[in-house]
Amino acid sequence: MNRNPKPSRQTPVTSLQVRNGSACLTLLLALCAGSIGQTQSEAQSPVPGSAIHVTHVLGFEGARHNATGDLKIQDGAVQFQRDGSSTAQVNISSIQDIFVEDEDKQVGGTAMTLGKTATPFGGGRVVSLFAHKKYDVLTVEYFDNSGGFHGAIFQLDKGQGQTFKKDLVANGAHISSPDDQATTQSTPEVKHENK
């Protein structure tokens, strides 16, 4: 006769899930904030002639894809030195064109992506809203000794691309159009579709 409503068995489990979810979310947000804070502190214009920390995306002869390292101008050449590894270099006189574009990317890499996927209640999407960062993409087009064309792409912290481009031009690199000095906007949020 005593039919007092029993508390649902799901409640502790749900609260545990919520607690886990919120813990996961907090961790991801902390990681994200840390990453952004770190990059903001790094994102300062380099001293001309000094090495800048970049990620080599592809195309620079003798350097591995997605390798991080220092890019600098020395002895009439652009040098890319991987962290604690050998140096790849290209003569500045062989550079035919340089472009700097903006790119917006998610931070955190694979670990962050997995974390976001594992976060319940769509928390990962919320994190994605904040876990992105703007980069400069530096494209250097040059010819090798055989006359072969290369297109090297580097990812730099925001604001460093233009400075490095100016340094290269000052050291004798060719660019196709001098009025192309301004950063080419490659806004990823473009809504029109080019057909």
Q: How far apart are CA 161 and CA 141, in angstroms?
A: 15
Task: Give the x-and-dash track for 54-83 against another protein (CB under 8 A).
Answer: ---xxx------------------------
Residue at 49: amino acid letter: G
Residue 179 in the binding site for another protein (CB under 8 A): no
- Decide: 160 and 151 in contact? Cβ < 8 Å: no
DSSP 184: B
Toward another protein, which CB reaches closer, 81 or 139? 139
Residue 103 in the binding site for another protein (CB under 8 A): yes
Residue 181 in the binding site for another protein (CB under 8 A): no
Task: Give the x-and-dash track for 22-61 against another protein (CB under 8 A).
Answer: -----------------------------------xxx--
Q: What is the DSSP code string of 5-69?
A: PPPPTHHHHHHHHHHHHHHHHHHHHHHHHHHHHHHHHH-SPPPTTS-EEEEEEE--TT--TTEEE
- Report the 10 Å Cβ neighbour count for 170: 12
Beta-sheet pairing, 95-106 with 132-143: antiparallel
Residue 95 in the binding site for another protein (CB under 8 A): no
Q: Compute the least distance from the CB of residue 103 to another protein, in Å.
A: 7
Toward another protein, which CB reaches closer, 47 or 129? 129
Task: Give the x-and-dash track for 114-143 against another protein (CB under 8 A).
Answer: --x-------xx--xx-xx----x-x-x-x
Read off the tokens for 145. Answer: 């000794």
Query: SS3 for 97?
Result: strand
Where do contacts with another protein occur on this chain (CB under 8 A)? 57-59, 99, 101, 103-106, 113, 116, 124-125, 128-129, 131-132, 137, 139, 141, 143-144, 146-153, 184, 186-190, 193-195
